[in-house]
Chains A and B, each alone.
Chain A
């Protein structure tokens, strides 16, 4: 059912990773992504892969859920791989046919670049798989709080994100209702070329926008009625508090990044 759609791709499970403070997970993901660009040789990839596998094991998320994240970027992956393959110049030419030159350096760069992208995607999908969207907005609000000093409305942005999350299923359901109503009036969304199909969407989007604007107005009134007046003087029902395991997780990340940097300096391959 449409009511059951979830945004993001949270995988509910009881695991050490799930229970971590969402801020730790956001920071750790950033560290992991940065670490991917700290090395150039094979050993770095092995360390990054091993570390990631450990985390997956800890999170109890089935591996196929994690690899699912790669699907939407497969085209981009092939494209970057091809570019790297064709445009890298080097001495060890493997194939030369017309204007196409493939070098051993090119192959190496292609493989490493593709691996880097894959790690980047699956690394961040591990975070979204183990953190609910609500926790994520809380973490973002708390982590970016210092930006308040430079007049970035951090609380308001986080509030908008969480309201958007709440209304997505409602608006999806509404779109479905409008589509059915238009179908009942003889609308045709299936046939015709691309332009005709896009045109046939207009009678769906206009009522949807009108109703979304109306809902926004209602919601603003309801928030006013419940004394909402921005982030100032606001308390939290579920405040984020670091526990011992969160500190431990930060230490693990620190060890990991040291290891990666050290490996990059010391190990030859």
Chain B
């Protein structure tokens, strides 16, 4: 099967220029990234500030083109500008700031903005807008002004705006960085559901460890390179290595690791609070049973 996204030795350089326009320095934001993503996957890209993860996201949407290497999205070369619209239509992008990506003054009109641009007939636009707003749970706010919504709601409207273009893949560039915890949960839940129910490929770029637990596969980026990759459990088991890239593991995993240090026999790749409590309860039961036998 052809991978949905295929990056081969991707390099991107930003050049700094002085006032006359002479290049004074080159900043290698991406340094040889090779990734393959299958259709329907939920991928997370982790990285601290300045790791190059947002630059990578912009490449996936043809907003930036590679300095070296090649990137194919849905079988199309992103460095060819004739492919821009097709690439953006099949891989939609959600940005960090919810206010700066909503274009229209009414929720439903914003969801319709993408389909309008790609020339969908009026009736079909209405159909798609309804469907996509329902998918993110924002249908009852369709007549509202975006200025009256919370951050999480605005971000879900932005996702609906992308969904209405019927993409095969959604790229989310730190979608929760400006949200409160409740908004963060609502956005991640909406994304998870889209991945499962609509089989949309998701690429979540973030530095929040808790959000990564939802992903099938995780890439860790630092200095423009991919330093680690694996399932969330595999990644979180290596807390020392993560710390080297200025990333910290979720609180639950941290507690589990501390408990292991104290000599308690539990696995070291725990991701969820419920998981840890279950294991600890079982330990407690077996311990009390053991005491009675003696």
Q: Do A and B come from one complex?
A: yes
> How far, in angstroms, from A134 to B105 measured CA to CA in the complex?
8
A169 located at the interface, meaning its Cβ lies under 8 Å from any Cβ of chain B in the complex: yes
Task: State whether A233 touches B119 (Cβ < 8 A).
Answer: yes
* A contact residues around B108 at 8 Å (CB): 237
> How far, in angstroms, from A239 to B122 measured CA to CA in the complex?
8
> How far, in angstroms, from A94 to B275 measured CA to CA in the complex?
98
In this complex, the interface size class of chain B, counting residues with CB under 8 Å from chain A, is 35 or more
Q: Which residues of A contact B (CB under 8 A)?
A: 3, 133-134, 162-163, 165-166, 169-170, 215, 218-219, 221-229, 233-239
Per-residue A-contact encoding for B90-112, CB less than 8 Å = 1, 0 else: 00110101011111111011001
Question: Which residue on A lies nearest to B105, using beta carbons?
Answer: A166
Task: State whether B114 touches A236 (Cβ < 8 A).
Answer: no
A215-B100, A235-B122 are known; give 12 further A-B pairs, CB within 8 A: A162-B105, A166-B104, A170-B99, A218-B100, A224-B88, A225-B63, A225-B101, A235-B116, A235-B121, A237-B122, A237-B125, A238-B109
* A contact residues around B63 at 8 Å (CB): 221, 224-225
B43 located at the interface, meaning its Cβ lies under 8 Å from any Cβ of chain A in the complex: no
Prevailing SS type, chain A contact patch: helix
- Which residues 131-179 of B sit at the A interface, judged by CB distance below 8 A? 146-148, 161-162, 165
What 10 pairs between A and B have smallest CB-CB spacing?
A222-B101, A218-B100, A237-B112, A225-B93, A227-B117, A226-B114, A237-B125, A233-B119, A228-B117, A166-B105
Nearest CB of chain B from residue A164's CB, rounded to whole Å: 11
Some 25 contacts from A to B, beta carbons below 8 A apart, are: A3-B147, A134-B105, A162-B105, A163-B103, A166-B146, A218-B97, A218-B100, A219-B100, A221-B63, A222-B95, A222-B101, A222-B103, A226-B92, A226-B114, A226-B117, A227-B88, A227-B89, A234-B116, A234-B117, A235-B119, A235-B122, A236-B122, A237-B108, A237-B109, A237-B115
Question: Which residue on B lies nearest to A228, using beta carbons?
Answer: B117
Other-chain contact of B125, A218, A219, A225, A235 (Cβ < 8 Å): A235
> How far, in angstroms, from A169 to B119 measured CA to CA in the complex?
30
Task: State whether B103 touches A227 (Cβ < 8 A).
Answer: no
Task: State whether A237 touches B116 (Cβ < 8 A).
Answer: yes
B113 located at the interface, meaning its Cβ lies under 8 Å from any Cβ of chain A in the complex: yes
> How far, in angstroms, from A166 to B98 measured CA to CA in the complex?
13
B126 located at the interface, meaning its Cβ lies under 8 Å from any Cβ of chain A in the complex: yes
* B contact residues around A235 at 8 Å (CB): 115-116, 119-122, 125
Interface-central residue, A133, A162, A227, A234, by most chain B CB under 10 Å: A227
* B contact residues around A234 at 8 Å (CB): 116-117, 119
Nearest CB of chain A from residue B288's CB, rounded to whole Å: 57
> How far, in angstroms, from A134 to B113 measured CA to CA in the complex?
14
> How far, in angstroms, from A237 to B103 measured CA to CA in the complex?
14
> How far, in angstroms, from A169 to B108 measured CA to CA in the complex?
19
Prevailing SS type, chain B contact patch: helix
Question: Which residue on A lies nearest to B121, using beta carbons?
Answer: A235
- Contact A229 to B97, CB < 8 A, known contacts A224-B63, A237-B129: no
* B contact residues around A218 at 8 Å (CB): 95, 97, 100-101
> How far, in angstroms, from A215 to B101 measured CA to CA in the complex?
9
B118 located at the interface, meaning its Cβ lies under 8 Å from any Cβ of chain A in the complex: yes
Interface-central residue, B92, B104, B122, B147, by most chain A CB under 10 Å: B147
> How far, in angstroms, from A234 to B115 measured CA to CA in the complex?
9
> How far, in angstroms, from A255 to B165 measured CA to CA in the complex?
47
> How far, in angstroms, from A219 to B105 measured CA to CA in the complex?
14
Task: State whether B93 touches A227 (Cβ < 8 A).
Answer: no
B273 located at the interface, meaning its Cβ lies under 8 Å from any Cβ of chain A in the complex: no
Task: State whether A169 touches B125 (Cβ < 8 A).
Answer: no
Task: State whether B101 touches A219 (Cβ < 8 A).
Answer: yes
* A contact residues around B97 at 8 Å (CB): 215, 218
B85 located at the interface, meaning its Cβ lies under 8 Å from any Cβ of chain A in the complex: yes
> How far, in angstroms, from A228 to B84 measured CA to CA in the complex?
11
* B contact residues around A233 at 8 Å (CB): 119
> How far, in angstroms, from A188 to B199 measured CA to CA in the complex?
57
* A contact residues around B148 at 8 Å (CB): 3
* A contact residues around B58 at 8 Å (CB): 221
* A contact residues around B95 at 8 Å (CB): 218, 221-222, 225
Task: State whether B106 touches A134 (Cβ < 8 A).
Answer: yes
B55 located at the interface, meaning its Cβ lies under 8 Å from any Cβ of chain A in the complex: no
* B contact residues around A215 at 8 Å (CB): 97, 99-100
* A contact residues around B89 at 8 Å (CB): 227
- Contact A162 to B165, CB < 8 A, known contacts A226-B114, A234-B117: no
B201 located at the interface, meaning its Cβ lies under 8 Å from any Cβ of chain A in the complex: no
Question: Which residue on A lies nearest to B108, using beta carbons?
Answer: A237
Other-chain contact of B102, A166, A224, A228, A237 (Cβ < 8 Å): A166
